[in-house]
Structure 1
Amino acid sequence: MTVWFLIVAVSAFVGAMCARIHRRWFSILAGAAIPWFGFLSLLLVEAYVLPYRGGGATMWPIAQLFGGTAAALIGVGSCVLFRGRRRGKEAPGEP
């Protein structure tokens, strides 16, 4: 349960920061890509860098399929939500 909380919290934070820093469609792309690749890097470090702890077959591709997709969707949702909030606070005439 703690792992899912971290995935949701970090992905939402990254999506919000992408909406704050970047403009237009690039913020949505970055809001999806950064959490997805971050989760992939953590899985690969655990699978190939850290010492083996026993247990059987590695399941990192399945974890990436579900966890990475969830991270990307949460990042995009957070980015779209914060872009909408920021758009309402901009001064008239700003893009």
Structure 2
Amino acid sequence: MFKISEFSRLSRIPLQTLRYYDQIGLLKPARIDSLTGYRHYAAEQLLEINRNVIFKELGFTLQQITQLLQEDISACLVRAENGALEGMQP
């Protein structure tokens, strides 16, 4: 488990952005310490945050990414590929 500062450094995502992602439900910490309120992230969540970055780079909004992640991941990939292909057309 990583504290939010460590996870921020490893993922290269600012602390404020991670807190915002938690607030909107895009990336919830694996655990929140009940005494301190510190957010802790699992190593597997680095993959999740990288996926979110890729979706953002493909032009999806945070709201769209949240919706996509709530659906079947294969449907998400199809949409992402279609969006990328549309962006490449002259």
The TM-score with structure 1 as length reference comes to: 0.26
The TM-score with structure 2 as length reference comes to: 0.27
The structure in which a higher percent of residues are strand is 2
The structure in which a higher percent of residues are helix is 1
The higher relative CO (CA closer than 8 Å, separation ≥ 6) is in 1
